[in-house]
Structure 1
Amino acid sequence: MAVCFFVVFVFVSVYTGFSDGLLLSDPAHVEQRLNQMESQIQGLSQEVNTLKQENTALKAQVSSGNTTLVYFSAYRTNDLNFPSTTSADVVYDGVRSNHHNCYDATTGLFTAPVKGLYVFTWESLTAAAKIFDSELMVNGVVMMLNNCNFLSTQGAYSSCTGVAPTHLEPGDIAHIRATSGNHLHGGGWSSFSGWLVHRT
């Protein structure tokens, strides 16, 4: 029985090897493999062309200025005090950065130079028994509110932060306005900043 099994095993092995040899030397099989390789090469060629097109598009964006950097950071140099019922525009008269000259430190107004998605943030520091409620305005419309109520007499200072993503058109104006505040701490502790996230 063992001898018969060995003979069958050898016969199958020889036949399989012979068949593989025929397949490898078969012109039809070779042509099929070449066609498969040609298809793979065409696929890679298409990927290369796509990458070239994307590279060209990125170069065009750089040339057209789509990578424009727009950002500013301003702050109050002195304390701001006024009656709590007063609504007043806040002028952050100190400037840490003003790339693209989009912020006016004499008026507190930011003017968008390009169309895109911007983010604005403002930090308000107020003293004990004081309050500073404020809002982000864009073209006279309220976009975001921020409450910094520290009417408690306990403690020293309270800091509040407002953050607002906003889509702007060229020439749109953004600024901070106090609504019911009576004290905003200066010395660089209260600030207004903004930057272009994505040009559209």
Structure 2
Amino acid sequence: MFGGKTEKYIQGVIAMTLLFHISSVTGNCTNTTLKLFDDQIQAIQKYVRTIVEDGSCNKKNAPVGFHAYMESTKTYEKGVVWVYDSVVTNTHNAYSATTGKFTTPEQGLYIFSIDTLSDPGKASHAGLYVDGKIRSWQVCNNGGGKSQWLTCSNSAILLLQRGETVYVADYYSTASIRELHSDFSGAKLN
């Protein structure tokens, strides 16, 4: 289930623990000894269950990253989180296509990219926020003619702690964002 050296190590620890306790119990089966033995077996089971349920054996070496885009054209009021609802990549399930927020699964240096397409005569002011504080700004103000679309792009490199939430929202006014060509990406660099 865990693969390679990790699985053999866990099997060895469990076997040694069981052998140690079985040999100490065989001659004297007091309630205290059996209770201690039972407590330790339950602790091992809880530890293994935690590893299996959170998938940490598989995640330790997996890179952290996500990429999502907007499936349809959207309008957002100032301060409302932009939801990029079509997810292409999402390791660690750290990005939510429901909330539009990325929660850092690990401490480290991250890079984020925002691309926004504005329709003719429309504008957006994308702010990259970390736990409610703006860290990067983008202006996509398209005052062009009837058939001019404007794409704006911005990147930011941020040192983040585990559990911090990163998202995009308009910091100035109402935002109009064109589908398919507007996306949000992030990845851990180290």
Question: Common fold, TM-score beyond 0.5?
Answer: yes
Structure-2 separation of matches of 1:141 and 1:81: 22
1:81 aligns with 2:75: yes
Alignment pair present for 1:192 and 2:187: no
CA contact (8 A) 1:134 1:181 kept: no
What is the letter of the counterpart of residue 175 of structure 2? N
Residue 156 of structure 1 is matched in structure 2 by 148
Letter of the 2:186 counterpart: G
What SS does the corresponding residue of 1:89 show, helix, strand or coil?
A: coil
Q: 1:65-80 maps to which residues of 2 (within 5 A)?
A: 67-80=61-74
Instruction: Name the counterpart of 1:130.
Output: 122
After TM superposition, what 4+ stretches of structure 1 lie above 4 angstroms from structure 2? none
Give the gaps of 5 or more residues in structure 2: 1-56
- Superposed CA offset, 1:121-150 (max 9, x none): 010001110001110000111100001010
Instruction: Tell me: CA distance 1:87–1:153, structure 2 relative to 1, closer, same or farther (3 Å).
Output: farther
Q: Please give the alpha-carbon distance, in whole angstroms, between the structure 2 residues aligned to 1:78 and 1:160.
A: 18
- Alignment equivalent of 1:98, drawn from 90, 98, 101: 90
Which entry has the higher C-alpha Rg, 1 or 2? Answer: 1
After alignment, is 133-142 or 177-186 more displaced? Answer: 177-186
Amino acid at match of 1:77: E
- Residues 62 and 91, structure 2, Cα contact 8 Å, conserved in 1: no
Kept in 1, the 8 Å contact 2:115–2:153? The answer is yes
- SS of residue matched to 1:100: helix
Post-superposition Cα deviations, 1:173-199, rounded to whole Å, max 9, x if no partner, equal 00001122431001x21000000001x
CA RMSD of aligned residues (A): 2.0
Identical pairs, percent: 30
Please report the TM-score for the alignment, with normalisation by the length of structure 1: 0.62
Contact 2:84 2:183 in 1 (8 A): yes
TM-score (normalizing by structure 2):
0.65
Which structure 1 segments of 5+ residues have no match?
1-62
| Cα distance per residue 1:35-87 (max 9 Å; x no partner) | xxxxxxxxxxxxxxxxxxxxxxxxxxxx9x7644100000100111256xx33
